[in-house]
Chain A
């Protein structure tokens, strides 16, 4: 009875308490789904364990001066099996579920998919990263249409380069609902590209290109935050991603493009 209430309560809390920022990429709803499940399980476990501890402390506290001992139970095999098996099953479930989420976020896509953009990066054969769904709906088709952008990180700025128009910008402009492929490399130390509203993060590593894909789904200006300690001004290393209507983006692009490219 108590446990049923606990589980129902946990599910209710998991579904109704929102601790996360705005959803602004196709990645984010998938993430929030996972968060809900983890939050539900976590709440049930935490409230359950805390409840048991507090209950025991009150119920089984000794009267002042009492010198009696408790019952000498030293163990119980079936209980031990129970509380080995149940967490193991929960963990297995969480693991499989998060694998599924990871897959839907594009984490399992072989990186070769991106390799046609290889010419954008000088030298290295090794690319890492690759998490972030270009699109949850139709990944394979969308990939070819993905907008390639290069990111260079340095102490203490992000520089974006649009190879199609040879635009160099300190602000990341992207059209809504279009997949974006960011290829990233650092000039000095490790930085990290993080947009909380996209629920995505990828380190930007010197000597080691990394890749990140996302599809923005909500118009607005969101902060790009450097999430890896990179020196004194690490806290100030920020930029903005501007998600705009396709027309607005096109206008911005045309204004700045050095090589006008109709495709873009």
Chain B
């Protein structure tokens, strides 16, 4: 069997696009360029969001509000939450990897709507810049990423309005992306490729995009109403004018709960791609994995009120949402057990990608367990809006999604750049990230249980020591980005050549050159009906031995 095309093959058709690094700043229509644009842009925002998180942790090393003013603290935490969610996790796990990989996986040369795709990306930088610049204009929004009215109506209007506009832009970008993914996966499949032969990431993206299309517009509508309340003094959510603040919460969480699965389902998909390659085993339980994704999508749409257990919901509603929420553990659990079964009996190479993926499994299980606890109304009435919740979701968004993003970068960097990342540096990066992460967020469970509310710049002095431990962990996490960045830049220029298929993978993106040509394949797209056929047939020898030297 042939894996890649001899380099002597003629170049494919050239499009009229800028070349070299300039094309990453252009309105490029190439899905790979757009994917990398999302990635780099997202990572820059991650550094900014992380710098804000560091500011939060510095403030919290002492029980006084001394590092920044109280209202500045609220602006910082609002920006941190908004940037991390809307400008880092969502664009990267969906936009970056989705754009890069989905066309390969369905055997297409590009996304269904390349122009829409480019528009979707180019909505992001202006939205992000606007959001951040609002801090320097009149002060950023300071009502948290949830922007609950009436607080969001009574705080300074300029920052809140800018926040609304940029979230609307980002939501629009996300919807355009979702439409594109659905069309690409369902309509652009290479002839001969069946749905149940698609790599798992496609299913994850299909599920995610359904959530995006169904829930993001509701957020958009809600924020438009909120902006009317602020600008035109209507009273939708303003009790002084007869409005109802709880309705906002329902509408907001109708989007924002599914949003958490928008942040994590693609990560599930990515892990499902990474594990089989490095374990040299087929993905365990493909069919149940597909059904569990769809189960999560369905359940994810009907559990939103678990964020509102203390805000005054009738008892029947509390019960319904408790049960529905907790049941998400079942489809999610299926995925985790299947991954462990994939590890079991494999030939696992302990490289950075697999370490981050396994770190993800461990962290996410802990975050999921605290999630199931939070779903129980009587439990939640004590810990709602405390650091226990902060710990829960950082275990999931950082320990889950961010770990997977790192894992994926180590896995696909060779494909996108043609260079290998340094493995030893990578393992070192993993080690301090993992330690720093747990040091930072594990103690926060205790803080929450014992009486530290979230979103405060000052706290009871009895919590000082534990907060300092947490801050030390955050410092370690901040430092851990340094070896990573160095690794990326160094490898980009001086790294070992990767060859086309350093991991001996079977999914279609490995069956072309690294980096891939403009139209993905010279000649026709290969038909891969068994993306996880490890251990079945003789697997291709690595084209370049460097890739497997550890």
Which A residues form the contact surface with B (CB < 8 A)? 19-21, 30-31, 34-35, 38, 41-42, 45-46, 49-50, 52-53, 56-57, 60-62, 64-76, 79-80, 83-84, 87-88, 91, 94-95, 98-99, 101-102, 105, 107-108, 128-131, 188-190, 192, 194, 196, 199-203, 205-208, 210, 223, 225-236
Contacts and interface: CB of A to CB of B under 8 A. Distances in A.
Given A107-B318, A190-B311, A38 B376 contact: yes
A190 B282 CA distance: 52
Nearest to A107: B315
A201 B381 contact: yes
Given A128-B314, A206-B150, 17 more contacts: A53-B358, A56-B343, A61-B350, A70-B281, A70-B534, A75-B284, A102-B319, A107-B315, A188-B154, A192-B310, A196-B382, A196-B449, A205-B239, A210-B312, A227-B386, A234-B74, A235-B456
A228 B456 CA distance: 10
Nearest to B336: A49
A3 B161 CA distance: 55
A199 B381 contact: yes
B373 interface: yes
The A interface, classified by DSSP as helix, strand, loop or mixed, is: mixed
Nearest to A101: B378
B370 interface: yes
B158 interface: no
B280 A84 contact: no
Contact of B337 (A60, A83, A231): A83
Contacts of B377: 98, 102, 107, 131
Contact of B451 (A21, A102, A206): A21
B25 interface: no
Interface string B362-396: 10011001101100111101101110000000000
Given A56-B340, A102-B378, A199-B382, A69 B534 contact: yes
Closest 3 CB pairs of A and B: A207-B239, A235-B456, A128-B312
Contact of A205 (B70, B246, B281, B287): B246
Nearest to B384: A201
Q: Which of B244, B246, B312, B377 has the most CB of A within 10 A?
A: B312
Contacts of A38: 372-373, 376, 379
A70 B279 contact: yes
Contacts of A129: 312
Contacts of B326: 91, 94-95
Interface string B246-290: 100000000000000000000000000000000111111111100
Central interface residue in B150, B382, B454, by most chain A CB within 10 Å: B382
A239 to B, nearest CB: 13
A196 B382 CA distance: 7
B314 A20 contact: no
Given A19-B449, A31-B382, A35-B379, A69 B245 contact: no
Given A61-B350, A69-B534, A230 B151 contact: yes
B321 to A, nearest CB: 11
Interface in B68-95: 69-71, 73-74
7 contacts: A56-B343, A98-B379, A196-B382, A201-B310, A206-B245, A207-B245, A229-B385
Interface in B153-176: 154-155
Given A91-B329, A235-B65, A194 B280 contact: no
Given A31-B382, A60-B348, A73-B282, A231 B155 contact: yes
Given A35-B379, A200-B382, A49 B281 contact: no
A45 B369 contact: yes
A49 B340 contact: yes
Contact of B365 (A49, A56, A70, A232): A49
B352 interface: no
Contact of A69 (B322, B361, B384, B535): B535
A70 B341 CA distance: 12
Given A75-B288, A83-B333, A94-B376, A203 B311 contact: yes
Contacts of B358: 53, 57
B465 interface: no
B348 A234 contact: no
B390 to A, nearest CB: 12
B151 A231 contact: yes
A87 B368 CA distance: 13
Contact of B348 (A19, A57, A102, A190): A57
Given A53-B362, A72-B533, A46 B369 contact: yes
Contact of A79 (B73, B341, B348): B341
A225 B453 contact: yes
Given A53-B361, A62-B348, A80 B334 contact: yes
Contacts of A21: 449-451
B379 A189 contact: no
Nearest to A97: B376
B280 A68 contact: yes
Contacts of A65: 548-549
Contacts of B133: none
Given A66-B347, A128-B313, A72 B455 contact: no
Most A CB atoms within 10 A — which of B71, B381, B385, B548? B381
B122 interface: no
Contacts of A71: 281, 345, 535
Contacts of B333: 83-84, 87
B340 A53 contact: yes
B180 to A, nearest CB: 31
Contacts of B245: 190, 205-208
- Most A Cβ at <10 Å: residue of B286, B310, B350: B310
Contacts of B148: 189-190, 228-229
A91 B372 contact: yes
Contact of B347 (A41, A70, A98, A99): A70
Nearest to A238: B460
B457 interface: yes
Interface in B281-304: 281-288
Contacts of B366: 46
A46 B370 CA distance: 10
B205 to A, nearest CB: 22
Contacts of A199: 381-382
Contacts of A66: 347
Interface in B407-453: 445-446, 449-451, 453
B434 to A, nearest CB: 12
B495 interface: no
A156 B327 CA distance: 39
B459 interface: yes
Given A60-B346, A60-B348, A79-B341, A20 B456 contact: no
B529 interface: no
B453 A226 contact: yes
B347 A34 contact: no
A107 B550 CA distance: 58
Given A223-B451, A231-B155, A72 B282 contact: yes
A94 B372 contact: yes
A151 to B, nearest CB: 14
A239 B372 CA distance: 31
A139 to B, nearest CB: 15
B519 to A, nearest CB: 31
Nearest to B314: A128
